[in-house]
Amino acid sequence: MGTITTRDGIEIFYKDWGSGQPVVFSHGWPLNADAWDDQLLLVADNGFRGIAHDRRGHGRSTQAWNGNDMDTYADDLAELIEKLDLHDVILVGHSTGGGEVTRYIGRHGTGRVAKALLLSAVPPLMLKTESNPEGLPIEVFDDIRKGVKADRSQFYKDLSAPFYGANRSGSTVSQGLRDAFWLMSMQVGLKGAYDCVKAFSETDLTEDLKRFDVPTLIVHGDDDQIVPIVAAGLKSAKLVKDATLKVYPGAPHGLFATHQDEFNQDLLAFIKSS
């Protein structure tokens, strides 16, 4: 574990487990690197170097007033990769982290990147517009902002249900998993949490996806209540050249936890593939 300091003086916390080809994980909103612990352990136990950072404003990184936007998130990721002198990197991004990975490739290219995996990711665009009618209306994101400002603790407790599909009939999601979601969420600074809603919902990543030129796996649950697959995974798979799409039937947004065994098998197979 350690920190880097970005060009604008922000400390970015990261975990660095194992050795070998680096697998760099970017987490979703409003979580932090701890969300990836199971996958970090998996890759480190299988001969890879697992790295996951807390996005600025989140977890143990600086609660920055400025730079809570997708461009800066991507630049922070670039600085982490450069300062650790990583090459042949496998990028894995969940939700907002998938947007971060996508904008990183759009802004910085794939010179240091070997593969990419987008999991329940926000690209190409979550917001409903004339050209993106499958997206969600702005009122959905306005309600998220209202919830965060009014009573963020209760909002995060409630959000954990659709995040993991705990509100679906027959769900076996534990209270412990939901509590962990709340705990990580409460470590996000209010400013960073609020600003990130605009970043993940209104950033158009269409052109960034078109710049992908490395093997790419897109994984999405077809019962994702947070980032519906119709405006996200299905569209991204058409925009990324030669992408592989895997749909998990009935899976929620946080499928890396609810469908951990299946996802871990897919992740390991992907990073080991030639």
Share of the chain above pLDDT 90, in %: 99
Q: Is the pLDDT of residue 175 over 90?
A: yes
pLDDT, residue 274, reads 85
Q: Is the pLDDT of residue 139 over 90?
A: yes
Question: How confident is residue 1, by pLDDT bands cut at 50, 70 and 90?
Answer: confident
Question: How confident is residue 5, by pLDDT bands cut at 50, 70 and 90?
Answer: very high
Domain covering 2-272, topology: Rossmann fold (3.40.50)
d(CA 183, CA 113): 32
pLDDT, residue 32, reads 98
Enumerate the domain spans of the chain: 2-272
Mean pLDDT of 193-206: 98
Write down the catalytic residue from 54, 75, 224, 266.
Answer: 224
**Tens digit of each residue's pLDDT (9 = 90 or more) over 112-122:** 999 999 999 99
Write down the catalytic residue from 95, 120, 160, 201.
Answer: 95
pLDDT, residue 203, reads 98
Write down the catalytic residue from 185, 253, 259, 266.
Answer: 253
d(CA 122, CA 127): 10
Mean pLDDT of the chain: 98
* String of DSSP letters for 97-119: HHHHHHHHHHHH-STTEEEEEEE
**95: annotated active-site residue:** yes
